[in-house]
Amino acid sequence: MYEVKATHLTNSNGLACEIYPDVFVVQDGAVLSTYAGQADGRCPCDPLPPDVDAHFEIDNSQLKRAVHRATSIYRPRRW
């Protein structure tokens, strides 16, 4: 288990942490991205005010899914 600081709030009012640019882990176990699914290029989360100090735990499988999402978005192109 890993503890992360909440940096954003999802549209359904769940806590989220942006662990890589445009890649978010959510308190309910989801992984969201600006470039996937219905996000349609828009951020699926809103930033939390800076004075909010909330944390939540993520497990190893959620972290692996987030890393996979980040590497699929930012994989260097081979021409």
Whether residue 79 is contained in a domain is answered as no
Helix ranges (DSSP H) in the chain: 60-74
Give the structural domain span for 12: 2-74
Structural domain includes residue 27: yes
Dihedral over Cα of 18, 22, 28, 30: its sign: negative
Q: What is the pLDDT of residue 44?
A: 82
Domain assignment present for 46? yes
CA distance 45 to 48: 9
Domain presence at residue 12: yes
pLDDT at 4: 95
Q: Is residue 18 part of a domain?
A: yes
- Count structural domains, the chain: 1
Note down pLDDT in tens along the chain; length 79 residues: 999 999 999 988 899 999 988 889 999 999 988 876 554 567 789 999 999 999 999 999 999 999 888 887 766 666 6
Residue 59 in domain:
yes
